[in-house]
């Protein structure tokens, strides 16, 4: 009997329906949208360490931040822009003259100029008419372009905006010198098929040559939507390491890279063997722990406990793993626990050069299972309680707020 094919894969059947560009530019948002995650803030050294690692891994564009946020932020972006990092350093700002001037002062070579596009944002947030938005866009994009910057024009909430206005606004931005166009699914309301439709319409009207999508994960579809967008020809996807970002986060960098590499067989130019290291660095510096079951970079992504799974993986890892952990710079783990089977015990002893009898293996397996089953869960419970306590109120604590308020003469109201 012939060997079964190890890589049978239906993605090949749909390959002709995809228009993924030959060159993909990863645009990382970890230091901007990632830092906007509640309770997250990076020091200049931390931002530099992450930016250097991103460049080393192969990210082409790094959004270093929004300089107009504060004098410190402007200084940080300036420092990153002058640190000799081998990537394009980008600074972001609104379609407001002061924002654009702050971007220019940082010395960043790339700018992202953003404004909202949807009715709800125009009416309630910006309080601007469509014509005023177009004018602010043209003025800001032109100023950044004339200052010699590579300009990306971004709209917030593009996917809830009227298409006619989207068309008018982006054509005006292109005319004013925008080099790259960014479509944002700011509140994560797209699904892959709807997003492909939206982007096809956008493309037919605006004819973007260099374009990005910025997706959010509110319904857990950020990665799927980003891949769908690339199937429509988007070449510069926005990503965040570990899927950090506002609310439910942005598209996760490692998920997009590995989906393209492994599922579609596309060379992304990313050094995938460094992705795990990058993920752990960002986990540590952001203070946002990854769930163990996070795709690809979670602790359990290549761990096996259940007897049937362990047995299969020991025979051939493809039985229960879609890719080799080494591709991400990781190692496979076999966990001994309640669901352990004899194969794992046998393998563990074999690694130590021991050849046990079948009876010894059976008895030891039983002992391992019952020992684990009856172990207390105090450590885990304590860890989860600390985690819940911290993440239910990240940022400034209630008591700290009223202490600070006291410093400007405001007293905490007595509860009735
Ligand atoms: Mn965002």
* Residue 134 neighbours by CB distance under 10 Å: 20
Strands (E) across 73-229 are located at: 88-94, 110-116, 150-156, 180-185, 211-215
pTM confidence score: 0.94
- Give me the tens of pLDDT residue by residue for the chain, a chain 416 residues long: 677 665 667 888 888 889 999 999 999 999 999 999 998 999 999 999 999 999 999 999 999 999 999 999 999 999 999 999 999 999 999 999 999 999 999 999 999 999 999 999 999 998 999 999 999 999 999 999 999 999 999 999 999 999 999 999 999 999 999 999 999 999 999 999 999 999 999 999 999 999 999 999 999 999 999 999 999 999 999 999 999 999 999 999 999 999 999 999 999 999 999 999 999 999 999 999 999 999 999 999 999 989 888 888 888 888 889 999 999 999 999 889 999 999 999 999 999 999 999 999 999 999 999 999 899 899 999 999 999 999 998 889 889 999 999 999 999 998 76
Cβ pair 170, 132 in contact under 8 A:
no
For residues 226 and 278, state if they share a domain: yes
For residues 354 and 391, state if they share a domain: no
Q: In which domain, by residue range, is 346 found?
A: 303-373
Query: Residue 146 is part of a domain; what is its CATH number?
Result: 3.20.20.70
Residue 239 Cα to ligand 1 midpoint, Å, equals 10
For residues 194 and 209, state if they share a domain: yes
Residue 117 Cα to ligand 1 midpoint, Å, equals 14
Residue 247 Cα to ligand 1 midpoint, Å, equals 9
For residues 182 and 84, state if they share a domain: yes
Residue 246 Cα to ligand 1 midpoint, Å, equals 6
For residues 74 and 212, state if they share a domain: yes
**How many residues belong to the chain?**
416
Residue 216: CB partners within 8 Å, gap ≥ 6? Answer: 185, 186, 187, 188, 222, 245, 246, 247, 248, 249, 250
For residues 213 and 183, state if they share a domain: yes
The DSSP bridge partners found for residue 334 are 304
Q: Out of 229, 254, 286, pick the residue that ends a domain.
A: 286
Q: Is residue 297 part of a domain?
A: no
For residues 280 and 309, state if they share a domain: no
For residues 212 and 77, state if they share a domain: yes
Residue 148 Cα to ligand 1 midpoint, Å, equals 26
Looking at the structure of the chain, the number of domains it has is 3
Cβ pair 216, 244 in contact under 8 A:
no
DSSP classification of residue 412:
P
Residue 43 Cα to ligand 1 midpoint, Å, equals 21
Residue 270 Cα to ligand 1 midpoint, Å, equals 23
Q: Out of 258, 286, 314, pick the residue that ends a domain.
A: 286
Q: Tell how strand 88-94 and strand 110-116 pair up.
A: parallel
For residues 51 and 80, state if they share a domain: yes
Residue 381 Cα to ligand 1 midpoint, Å, equals 33
């Amino acid at each position: 009997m012939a060997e079964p094919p190890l890589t049978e894969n239906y993605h090949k059947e749909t390959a002709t329906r995809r228009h993924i560009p030959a060159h993909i530019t990863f645009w990382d948002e970890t230091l901007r949208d990632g830092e906007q995650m509640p309770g997250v803030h990076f020091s200049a050294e931390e931002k530099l360490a992450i930016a250097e690692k991103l460049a080393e891994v192969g990210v082409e564009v790094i959004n270093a931040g929004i300089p107009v946020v504060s004098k410190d932020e402007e200084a940080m972006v300036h420092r990153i822009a002058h640190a000799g990092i081998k990537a394009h350093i980008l600074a972001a700002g609104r379609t407001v003259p002061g924002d654009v001037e702050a971007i220019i002062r940082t010395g960043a070579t790339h700018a992202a100029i953003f404004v909202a596009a949807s009715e709800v944002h125009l009416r309630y947030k910006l309080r601007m008419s469509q014509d005023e938005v177009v004018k602010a866009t043209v003025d800001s994009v032109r100023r950044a372009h004339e200052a010699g910057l590579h300009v990306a024009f971004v709209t917030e909430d593009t996917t809830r905006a009227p298409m006619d206005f989207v068309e008018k606004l982006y054509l005006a931005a292109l005319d004013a010198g925008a080099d790259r166009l960014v479509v944002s699914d700011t509140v994560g309301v797209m699904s892959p098929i709807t997003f492909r439709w939206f982007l096809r319409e956008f493309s037919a009207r605006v004819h973007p040559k260099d374009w990005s999508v910025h997706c959010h994960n509110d319904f857990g579809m950020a990665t799927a939507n980003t891949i769908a967008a690339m199937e429509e020809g988007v070449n510069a996807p926005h990503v965040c390491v570990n899927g950090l970002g506002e609310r439910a986060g942005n598209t996760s960098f490692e998920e997009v890279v590995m989906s393209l590499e492994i599922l579609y067989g596309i060379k992304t130019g990313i050094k995938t063997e460094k992705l795990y290291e990058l993920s752990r660095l960002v986990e540590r510096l952001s203070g946002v722990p990854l769930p163990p079951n996070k795709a690809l970079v979670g602790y359990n992504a290549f761990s096996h406990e259940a007897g049937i799974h362990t047995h299969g993986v020991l025979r051939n890892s493809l039985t229960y793993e879609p890719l080799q952990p080494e591709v991400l710079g990781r190692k496979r783990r076999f966990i001994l626990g309640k669901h352990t089977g004899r194969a794992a015990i046998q393998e563990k002893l074999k690694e130590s050069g021991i050849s046990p009898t079948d009876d010894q293996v059976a008895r030891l397996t039983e002992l391992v299972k019952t020992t684990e089953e009856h172990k207390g869960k105090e450590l885990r419970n304590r860890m989860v309680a600390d985690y819940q306590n911290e993440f239910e109120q990240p940022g400034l604590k209630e008591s700290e707020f009223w202490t600070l308020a006291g410093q400007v003469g405001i007293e905490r109201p007595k509860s009735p």
